[in-house]
Amino acid sequence: MIRDALQQTVREALRDADLPEPATIVLDVPKQRDHGDFSTPVALQLAKQVGAKPRDIAERIRAAIDANAQAFIERVEIAGPGFLNFFLAPVWLSDTLRDVVLAGSGFGHNDSLAGQHINLEFVSANPTGPLHAGGGRWVAMGDAIANLLASQGADVHREYYLNDAGSQLDIFGASLYARYRGEPPPDDGYRGEYLVEMAGRLRAELGDDVTEEAAREWGYHDIVRQLREDLERIGVHFDTWFSERLLHSRGDVEDVLRQLGELNVTYEHDGATWLRTTDFGDARDRVLIRSNGTSTYLANDLAYHRDKLRRGFTHLIDIWGADHHGQVKSLQSGMHALGYGTDDVPEPEVILGQLVRLLRGGQEVRMSKRAGDIITLEDILDEVDPDVARMTFLLQGIDSQQTFDLDVVTAQSMENPVYYVQYAHARVASIARRAAEAGIERRAVDTIDLSVLRHEREEALLRALSTFPEVVADSAAGRAPQKMSTWVRDFAREFHGFYRDCRVISDDDMLTQARLWLSEASRIGLANALALLGVNAPDEMARLDDDEDEDEDEDETAPAQ
RNA sequence: GCGCCCGUAGCUCAGCCCGGAUAGAGCGACAGACUUCUAAUCUGUUGGUCGCAGGUUCGAAUCCUGCCGGGCGCGCCA
């Protein structure tokens, strides 16, 4: 859009002025309004190379730009040590508004990743218990990242990997079976109360004569059903639930081991078969086949990732908890050993997410399915709206540890930023309803004089809106949904300010029309941003009681006569 | 010991990838604004040695090095 045009202008000016062209022309939106609409430090960057004073270089560039006057540039100023500040003709804001309206739900989307088939694997919690609260971070992050990648034109496939072939499931089965028989779970077993409840249903459904194996299978399928329900409740859908068992039953694991053997990257040692991952960058070699003849997690995982590639995906992304970071290099090294990790087939990308620290009553709650005292995602969803849960998980970067204080999140649920944003969206809808009641129709946008939108608030709103596409692109490229949530909060603030200071519906017909379109463009920005975050954009908000904050427990208090 | 992540306002966090002009938001505290398209809003005030020390640079919260503090790993577990 306008940024590209400016970049082009600067490039041409550099050429005309006989100056070298840096690979990228930096164009910033200055924090200060009096520094213009856009600013570039290019003259500062060239000073050393050219051997001239930055301000003199800036002057040469400005002269070249002026010589080739562009309609959308009102003036160029040289400021500070040598910044070139661009002041654009106000028409660019009108153009932005029209572009947004024209693009509609596609605003912020592009096709830079067109042709890419991305497999995004996330959550993948063991099917041995319900999703714990911290898992909500992977649910929300994964879904948002998938949305972001899709917005850039990629075909994104959401996948859940079920570790249903390993020892964890056996331990789970033994624990469930013990509960079924009224015994405590084994020492290394799962101690959670949910197994007692499940054992009761197991007995009700299958009777008193169940074997341990049957209990395990029943329990496994019941857990998967619970996982699906929890995920559905928060609005996340997986395209594939991939069973690890398939890798074994189909012979994939054997086959990948055979392939590695033929590639001469394995060796025998201490009765086990090892993979020379050190040849491919790993810190030490890894075992593929234990001395007892069974395959390791790595062997299975290599078969799994090879399978994903064989299914036609061009790019694999895994979201893992940071407690698995030691395995990243092993997986990637193993995939290189298999011949992947080339320009055509890149190595799997692993996004590491720092773990959630969960607080309740000011105390840290250790989240371990084994230990028993877990707070589940379901528990959270029982107390707060799914939108609140999602937004909370998307407020900060995945690289930093998140402290999820259950008391704070539930107590301040109503103050959650998600409502601030949703309220802005609802306000637009409300304006539209009021306008309709007043018999005001929005006329075609290209018949409206948008140049009347000159209020400080209106311009600020449009400026903020104009940055949306690049924020989406940045957010997608950085796998950083928090950039999106930060933008939408800032943008909502701009809208609330506009709403307050610029009455949309007025006696001035043209101004009303222009502001209705500005509202609509804002709605598009809010709705598209929320959609990327996986959050609803409601047309109205439930009315809050005025005395809400005085009344702590309005739900179940006794009737005070 | 080695590896990854974090350390920014009283609290919770953006900003760091890709260095720019006076470092931002929310919450908290204090003071204001509803005859108004829903006040779940808006406005103002308060508040920061960007962990510490060096280095690179015209310019460092941002890049590099070394420390300090916190989290997580370092299995023929998954």
Is the CATH number of domain A2-89 3.30.70.120?
no
Pick the CATH number of A417-557 from 3.40.120.10, 3.40.50.720, 3.30.70.1400, 1.10.730.10: 1.10.730.10
Q: Which amino acid is at A123?
A: V
Alpha helices in A338-480 (DSSP H): 377-383, 386-394, 406-411, 417-437, 456-466, 468-477
pLDDT at residue number A367 = 59
Instruction: Give per-residue pLDDT as tens, A146-166.
Output: 999 999 999 999 999 999 998
Instruction: Give per-residue pLDDT as tens, A374-391.
Output: 789 999 999 999 999 999
Locate A378 and state its tokens. Answer: 């379901």
pLDDT at residue number A21 = 86
Whether any strand B atom is under 7 angstroms from the Cβ of A31: the reply reads: yes
CA dist list (Å): A434 to A21, A422, A503, A519, A524 = 53, 18, 12, 13, 19
pLDDT at residue number A334 = 96
Distance of A508 CA from B35 C1′ (whole Å): 21
For domain A117-353, give the CATH superfamily: HUPs (3.40.50.620)
User: Taking the C-alpha atoms of A94, A96, A98 and A100 in order, what is their torsion angle to the nearest 10 degrees?
Assistant: -150
- Do A484 and A152 meet the contact criterion of CB atoms below 8 Å apart? no
Percent of chain A at pLDDT exceeding 90: 80
b/e sequence A72-86, b meaning 16+ C-beta within 10 Å = bbeebebbeebbbbb
Alpha helices in A152-211 (DSSP H): 167-180, 194-206
Instruction: Give per-residue pLDDT as tens, A262-306.
Output: 999 999 999 999 999 999 989 899 999 999 999 999 999 999 999
ipTM of the shown complex: 0.96
Instruction: Give per-residue pLDDT as tens, A434-471.
Output: 999 999 999 999 999 999 999 999 999 999 999 999 99
pLDDT at A90 over 80: yes
Distance of A45 CA from B63 C1′ (whole Å): 16
Taking the C-alpha atoms of residue A375 and residue A123, their distance in angstroms, rounded to an integer, is 16
Which nucleotide is nearest to A290 if distance is taken from CA to C1'? B76
Locate A117 and state its tokens. Answer: 């088939």
pLDDT at A549 over 70: no
Distance of A135 CA from B13 C1′ (whole Å): 20
Q: Is A33 helix (H, G, I), strand (E, B) or coil?
A: helix
Taking the C-alpha atoms of residue A498 and residue A494, their distance in angstroms, rounded to an integer, is 6
Which nucleotide is nearest to A284 if distance is taken from CA to C1'? B74
In chain A, count of helices (H) and strands (E)? Answer: 20, 14
Confidence of residue A557 (pLDDT cuts 50, 70, 90): very low
Q: Do domains A2-89 and A117-353 have the same CATH topology?
A: no
pLDDT at residue number A544 = 67
Give the lowest-confidence range in A15-19, A358-362, A479-483: A358-362
More confident site: A23 or A76: A76
Percent of chain A at pLDDT exceeding 70: 95
Distance of A545 CA from B1 C1′ (whole Å): 60
Average pLDDT, chain A: 92
Burial of A116 (0-12, 13-18, 19+ CB in 10 A): middle
Which nucleotide is nearest to A487 if distance is taken from CA to C1'? B14
Integer distance in angstroms from the first to the last C-alpha of chain A? 65
* Domain layout of chain A by residue ranges: 2-89, 117-353, 417-557
